[in-house]
């Protein structure tokens, strides 16, 4: 049993190789109780692989991980008891209703009939699905399907919830409702580990963010801290041939001084506050959503 203060997820040099590809390489990170932790990275970065190891669905090639104090290799059943998982792809039975899917999960966790019924009604209400409880999953919109997946993953009151791309493909309004649900869960004491490739999601929702790129952790911290490290202000310069350059500064004054030093033939100049996307581009030389 490994538990240091309130660290509820610990990974040490966690690596996973699929033939020639290192899906993740030497990943060391900590997630603290009560956090919403965001794992941000582009397609193929290694986000799902990390979640699959932490939720005991696959084994690492090397390195170790502990979830809620339990080693994922030595005590996988203990890990599973204390976590909920919402996978990246629809993991519910499409032909069954929301209630029936929840009923199935509750039986898997050996709830008695009366407790099952109470818990399911409580959760349906919590995620705002009471009126859709008797609709089959395939008749629901993408947003409601995801709510149903969250409800199923919460049946056994897990302390940590893993959400793999909880809002991918959802419209802006539905995405924000999902954010509200995640925030409410977190306020009710659930630690959240989520993956996303939406920078604004990480910035809006997460207390701390880990940026993963080509299987490696390239930044870790609060979004504001990452921006501060790079420079809180960005000067965007567009030159004659249309190429755009970015430079980062700790203060607006220094940024303004820099602008004064630019040659007069630049086409456009803009000073703005830096964001997480700037951090990502600065660290990797590419945008987070690019394939
Ligand atoms: N079962 C597997 N067999 C072979 N290669 C795999 C397997 N699972 C993942 N990979 C490879 O490992 C790398 C990381 O994949 P992973 O699914 O963890 O990325 P991801 O960040 O979740 O991407 P996405 O945003 O597309 O979901 C990719 O190069 C992927 O092709
Ligand atoms: Mg994935």
Q: Does residue 289 carry a pLDDT above 70?
A: no
Distance 193 CA to ligand 1 centre (A): 18
Those residues whose C-beta lies under 8 Å from the C-beta of residue 138, and which sit 6 or more positions away, are 94, 95
CA 167 to centroid of chain Cα atoms: 10
Instruction: With CA atoms as reference, report the closest residue to 178 among 156, 155, 204.
Output: 204
Closest residue CA from atom 17 of ligand 1: 48
Q: Which residues line ligand 1 (CB under 6 A)?
A: 18, 21, 23, 41, 43-49, 88, 197
Closest residue CA from atom 7 of ligand 1: 18
Distance 116 CA to ligand 2 centre (A): 32
Ligand number with the minimum distance to the CA of 196: 1
Ligand number with the minimum distance to the CA of 54: 1
- Label the pairing between strands 216-221 and 244-249: unpaired
Closest residue CA from atom 26 of ligand 1: 43
Closest residue CA from atom 25 of ligand 1: 43
Mean pLDDT of 83-112: 94
Structure tokens at 16: 């996973």
In ligand 1, the atom with minimum distance to the C-alpha of 16 is: 12
CA distance 238 to 243: 6
For the chain, domain boundaries: 7-221, 232-273
Tell the CATH topology of 7-221: Rossmann fold (3.40.50)
In ligand 1, the atom with minimum distance to the C-alpha of 215 is: 14
Using CB atoms within 10 A of its CB, is residue 260 exposed (0-12), middle (13-18) or buried (19+)? Answer: exposed
Phi and psi dihedrals of 64, rounded to 5? -135, 160
Those residues whose C-beta lies under 8 Å from the C-beta of residue 167, and which sit 6 or more positions away, are 146, 174, 175, 178, 179, 196, 198, 201
Mutate to test the pocket of ligand 1, among 44, 194, 288 (most ligand atoms within 8 A of CB): 44
Closest residue CA from atom 1 of ligand 1: 18
Coil vs helix vs strand at 224: helix
Structure tokens at 95: 């032909």
Mutate to test the pocket of ligand 1, among 18, 24, 211, 213 (most ligand atoms within 8 A of CB): 18
Closest residue CA from atom 5 of ligand 1: 18
Distance 43 CA to ligand 2 centre (A): 7
286 — pLDDT class (breaks 50, 70, 90): low
Structure tokens at 283: 């660290």
197 or 50: whose pLDDT is higher?
Answer: 50
263 — pLDDT class (breaks 50, 70, 90): confident
Q: Compute CA distances 220 → 40, 120, 275, whole Å.
A: 10, 37, 15
Mutate to test the pocket of ligand 1, among 14, 38, 46, 52 (most ligand atoms within 8 A of CB): 46
Report the chain's mean pLDDT, rounded to a whole number: 93
CA distance 54 to 122: 28
Using CB atoms within 10 A of its CB, is residue 183 exposed (0-12), middle (13-18) or buried (19+)? Answer: middle
Mean pLDDT of 190-208: 95
The total of other beta-carbon atoms located within 10 Å of residue 24's CB is 24
In ligand 1, the atom with minimum distance to the C-alpha of 42 is: 25
Mutate to test the pocket of ligand 1, among 49, 59, 168 (most ligand atoms within 8 A of CB): 49
Q: How many residues does the chain have?
A: 291
Look at residue 288 in the predicted model and tell me its pLDDT: 52
Lowest mean pLDDT among 67-71, 138-142, 153-157, 284-288: 284-288
Distance 164 CA to ligand 2 centre (A): 7
Structure tokens at 240: 């004659």
Structure tokens at 166: 């909880």
CA distance 291 to 281: 14
User: pLDDT per residue over 2-11, tens digit each?
Assistant: 444 699 999 9
- DSSP class per residue in 226-276: HHHHH-SEEEEEE-TTS-EEEEEESSHHHHHHHHHTS-TT-SEEEEEE--H
- DSSP class per residue in 100-140: HHHHHHHHHTT--HHHHHHHHHHHHHHTT-GGGTTSBGGGS
Q: Does residue 290 carry a pLDDT above 50?
A: no
174 — pLDDT class (breaks 50, 70, 90): very high
283 — pLDDT class (breaks 50, 70, 90): confident
- Label the pairing between strands 216-221 and 36-40: unpaired
């Amino acid at each position: 049993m490994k538990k240091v203060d309130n660290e509820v997820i610990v990974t040490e040099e966690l690596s996973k190789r699929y033939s020639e590809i290192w899906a993740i390489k030497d990943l060391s990170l900590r997630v603290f109780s009560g956090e919403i932790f965001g794992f941000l990275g582009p397609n193929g970065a290694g986000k799902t692989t990390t979640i699959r190891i932490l939720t005991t669905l696959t084994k690492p090639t090397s390195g170790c991980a502990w979830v809620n104090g339990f080693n994922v290799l030595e005590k996988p059943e203990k890990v599973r008891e204390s976590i909920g998982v919402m996978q990246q792809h629809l993991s519910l039975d499409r032909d069954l209703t929301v209630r029936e899917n929840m009923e199935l999960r509750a039986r898997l966790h050996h709830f008695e009939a009366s407790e099952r019924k109470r818990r399911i009604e409580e959760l349906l209400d919590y995620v705002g699905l009471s009126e859709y409880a008797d609709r089959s999953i395939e008749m629901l919109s993408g947003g409601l399907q995801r709510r149903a997946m969250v409800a199923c993953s919460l049946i056994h009151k897990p302390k940590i919830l893993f959400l793999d791309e909880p809002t991918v493909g959802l419209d802006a309004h539905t995405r924000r409702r999902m954010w509200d649900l995640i925030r409410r869960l977190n306020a009710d004491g659930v630690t959240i580990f989520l993956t996303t490739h939406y920078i604004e999601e990480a910035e809006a929702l997460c207390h701390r963010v880990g940026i993963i790129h080509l299987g490696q952790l390239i930044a870790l911290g609060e979004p504001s801290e990452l921006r501060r490290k790079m420079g809180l202000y960005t000067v965007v310069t567009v030159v004659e041939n249309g190429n755009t350059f970015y430079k980062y500064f700790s203060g607006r004054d220094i940024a303004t001084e820099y602008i004064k030093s630019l040659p007069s033939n630049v086409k456009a100049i803009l000073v703005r506050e830096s964001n997480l996307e700037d951090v990502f581009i600065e660290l990797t030389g590419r945008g987070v959503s690019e394939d």
